């Protein structure tokens, strides 16, 4: 019997550990009590012999009533084709390799995998848990083992790779092989070739950078458990999307005015219809300036307007 795990959920701090916790859905009212009982079992160190292996997590829970209960949660390993995608994505970005070597799972790596239909972290419902006392479903024993696994995965994200079928050293050696086969990869990543730093002579603006637009800025928000102070994460995902939109306008060189306009339109879209004062308040801008900008957008056909003067309401035109 290995050392019992006594750490609490508060020790799960990193995004992938929190996302792992969220993968076991105990949000239904009927599950609340089982989740509490499971958390209590976990806290008192009832979980032992936790094992994370390709395709499954297993663990034992010592209980007063049911004796020693074995828990299994199955997760489908990635196919060889899917591993091929993982290898090439990691090979394509030096910082992905650097992250994995430093015990970090880069969020952008998970996002890019998901864009290709590969969920490295099991989403809600993807775990198929069962226990020898209760059969299938999220019983207290399953919850306890799931938490113990979260603590371990939080500390060592390479366990996620192992769970999906391959040890990290294998993934990294495949990445090295893929890089060797494609010599110009590094040049694409850092684009400082041709002596760019020498030519620049201290002028940073001489260095070409290639900002990339985030395709899903609120990805992480949706993959973490809801923050304790929010009932609904929708406003938060909207905020991330609007901030990313503004950041992109700045990065793309449209300047602060372009970013302001984009933010104004994003706010208007989020509210469906709104008046000048509400938009100015939401954006912390001067109402007269917001009105001028909205009237300009109205003339350009980018927004619709009903009413006039103080009572005018605006609505974004669907694009």
Q: Which residue in this structure is represented by tokens 């070739």?
A: 193
Site for Zn ion in 164-223 (CB under 5 A): none
131 binds Zn ion (CB under 5 A): yes
68 binds Zn ion (CB under 5 A): no
Strand partners, 129: 73
d(CA 163, CA 182): 28
Residue 244 CB contacts under 8 Å (≥ 6 apart), including other chains: 214, 217
Q: How many other CB atoms sit within 10 Å of the CB of residue 111?
A: 16
Site for Zn ion in 262-281 (CB under 5 A): none
Residue 66 CB contacts under 8 Å (≥ 6 apart), including other chains: 133, 141
Strand partners, 158: none
134 binds Zn ion (CB under 5 A): yes
CB of 134 to Zn ion, least distance (A): 4
Tell me how many residues contact Zn ion (CB under 5 A).
5
Segment near Zn ion (CB under 5 A), from 10-18, 94-102, 136-144, 207-215? 136-144
Q: Which of 60, 112, 141, 223 binds Zn ion (CB under 5 A)?
A: 141
CB of 37 to Zn ion, least distance (A): 10
Q: How many other CB atoms sit within 10 Å of the CB of residue 80?
A: 9
Segment near Zn ion (CB under 5 A), from 5-13, 139-147, 237-245, 246-254? 139-147
Residue 99 parent element (H or E): helix 94-101
Segment near Zn ion (CB under 5 A), from 109-117, 140-148, 225-233, 310-318? 140-148
d(CA 159, CA 202): 43
62 binds Zn ion (CB under 5 A): no
Q: Which of 19, 21, 90, 133 binds Zn ion (CB under 5 A)?
A: 133
Binding site for Zn ion (CB under 5 A): 131, 133-134, 139, 141
């Amino acid at each position: 019997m290995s050392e019992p795990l006594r750490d609490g959920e508060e020790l799960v701090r990193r995004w992938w550990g929190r996302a792992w916790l969220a993968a076991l859905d105990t949000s239904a009212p009927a599950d609340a009590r089982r989740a509490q009982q499971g958390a209590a079992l976990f806290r008192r160190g009832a979980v032992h012999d936790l094992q994370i292996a390709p395709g499954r997590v297993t663990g034992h829970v010592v209980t007063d009533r049911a004796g020693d209960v074995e828990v299994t949660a199955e997760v489908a390993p990635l196919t060889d084709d899917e591993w091929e995608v993982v290898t090439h994505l990691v090979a394509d970005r030096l910082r992905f390799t650097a992250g994995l070597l430093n015990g970090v799972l880069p969020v952008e790596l998970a996002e890019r995998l998901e864009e290709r239909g590969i969920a490295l972290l099991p989403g809600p419902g993807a775990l198929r848990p069962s226990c020898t006392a209760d059969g299938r479903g999220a019983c207290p024993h399953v919850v306890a083992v799931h938490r113990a696994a979260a603590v371990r995965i939080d500390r060592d994200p390479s366990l996620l790779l192992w769970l999906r079928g391959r040890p990290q050293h294998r993934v990294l050696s495949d990445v090295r092989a893929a890089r060797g086969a494609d010599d110009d990869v590094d040049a694409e990543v850092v684009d400082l070739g041709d002596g760019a730093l020498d030519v620049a002579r201290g002028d940073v603006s001489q260095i070409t950078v290639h900002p990339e637009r985030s395709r899903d800025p609120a990805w992480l928000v949706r993959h973490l458990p809801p923050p304790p102070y929010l009932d609904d994460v929708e406003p938060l995902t909207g905020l991330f999307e609007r901030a990313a939109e503004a950041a992109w306008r700045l990065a793309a060189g449209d300047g602060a005015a372009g970013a302001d306009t984009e933010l104004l339109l994003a706010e208007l879209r989020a509210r469906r219809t709104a008046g000048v004062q509400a938009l100015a308040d939401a954006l912390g801008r001067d109402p007269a300036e917001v009105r001028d900008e909205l009237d300009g957008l109205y003339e350009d056909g980018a927004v619709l307007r009903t009413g006039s003067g103080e009572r005018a309401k605006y609505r974004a035109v669907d694009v």
